[in-house]
Amino acid sequence: MVPLTKTGPGRDFPPLRIEPKSRVFVLTGAGISAESGVATFRDANGLWEQHRVEDVATPEGFQRDPLLVWRFYSERRRQVARVQPNPAHLALAQLGEALGDRLFLCTQNVDPLHEQAGSRGVLHMHGELCSTRCASCDRAPFRDEAVYFDRVPRCACGGQLRPDVVWFGEVPLSMPRIFAALERCDLFVTVGSSGAVYPAAGFVSHLRNVPNARGQFARCVYLGLEKPDNAHSFDECRLGRAGELLPALFQVL
């Protein structure tokens, strides 16, 4: 049976105590980068109010009009080049220092702010904004901060290059690694994600059904401005800004 979700202002909850052998899985979404000035997707004035998902974030949209897609992602590249990590990214980098490989940090974000804050080994399940790959051949993705507003870049093979991000209708990256880490964790925390996009939105319900390696169910906590669509699967929803709540969220024992 799923317990009732405790919901309230984040500051009213005690810190999450992390026992010496506990493993923590943190999933971040666009909300963690909002205070850095990166636009979210589904909030008022979010990216999906101004752009049609079908046009800029699907393989079919890229086939129809690759230059429109490159203009959209070039704008995003310009935006992230101007921003800095905020206290929420920094707090997760510190947590990584304290826990080492007992922290698994998985992000849906394509921005590099976790890395800029000092986090290592971040799993970008929806790809990375400053990475480009070929839409035709299997040349490895490469780092690319360039912007393309007036031409579609080409690969040496002659094919079109595309942003190395995961679009709707494509499979997110490294799912076997993600599920292996989920099934080992004792504490699962989602930060700033509306819980509307699968498979990430389903991680928490997976943890409701599958006990971890110690035979226990992970504690599941949401932290963000408002209750996400999948709120009912969490034990707690701690409401508030990530930059204010995350620095005091964890107590490592």
- As annotated, the active-site residues are 126
- Rounded to 5 degrees, φ, ψ at 196 are -105, -15
CB of residue 212 to ligand APR, shortest distance in Å:
24
**Measured in Å, how far apart are the chain's first and last C-alpha atoms?**
30
Peptide bond into 199 cis (omega under 30): yes
Q: Is 43 or 155 the residue whose CB approaches ligand APR more closely?
A: 43
Report if residue 31 touches ligand APR, rule: CB under 6 A: yes
CB of residue 215 to ligand APR, shortest distance in Å:
31
CB of residue 68 to ligand APR, shortest distance in Å:
17
User: Which of 31-39, 63-71, 115-123, 205-213 is the region at the interface with ligand APR (rule: CB under 6 A)?
Assistant: 31-39
Report if residue 193 touches ligand APR, rule: CB under 6 A: yes
Report if residue 226 touches ligand APR, rule: CB under 6 A: yes
CB of residue 21 to ligand APR, shortest distance in Å:
29
By CB under 6 A, name the one of 16, 18, 27, 29 that touches ligand APR: 29
Which value, in Å, is the radius of gyration of the alpha carbons in the chain? Answer: 19
Report if residue 196 touches ligand APR, rule: CB under 6 A: yes
Report if residue 83 touches ligand APR, rule: CB under 6 A: no
